[in-house]
Amino acid sequence: MTIEFADDAQDLIAGYRRFRASRYREARDLFSRLRDGQQPATMIIACADSRADPAMIFDAAPGELFTVRNVSALVPPYEEGGGLHGVSAALEVAVTALKVKQIVVMGHGGCGGIAASIAAAADRLVGQFIASWVELAADARDAVLRNEAI
């Protein structure tokens, strides 16, 4: 099987056209049922890494997984007030509106976000936004670096 990667917008448009011409038509009944809502049993919190696609890894069809993806699959602590809380909002929807039965946090090998967290622990420069984001994993990272069980 040969995989072609989208290099530009034209590749994405061509992929969309292939989807509409084949996969969408094959699953027309499924998409019709999903038009009015979703009832996934599982929420997945996964890394945004393009190599770790939860739907592919779990062989899930559209409508089966409610997925949130971000750098390193991190979940910020609960807090009220200012700021935008995308992961918290998704969790709230999953639990209160969709009534998911399980939440899975999916890690993967070779995670660039975790590598950035380790680099930050060694006082190496990482991106402005990445540095504060991966600091969410600092307690677990530091325990691992001290070779402690977490």
Whether the CB-CB separation of 134 and 126 falls below 8 Å is answered with yes
| pLDDT tens column, 56-115 | 999 999 999 999 999 999 999 998 887 889 999 999 999 999 999 999 999 999 999 999
Neighbours of 94 (CB within 10 A): 21
| pLDDT tens column, 26-50 | 999 999 999 999 999 999 999 999 9
C-alpha to C-alpha distance for 36 and 5, rounded to whole angstroms: 32
The structure's pTM equals 0.86
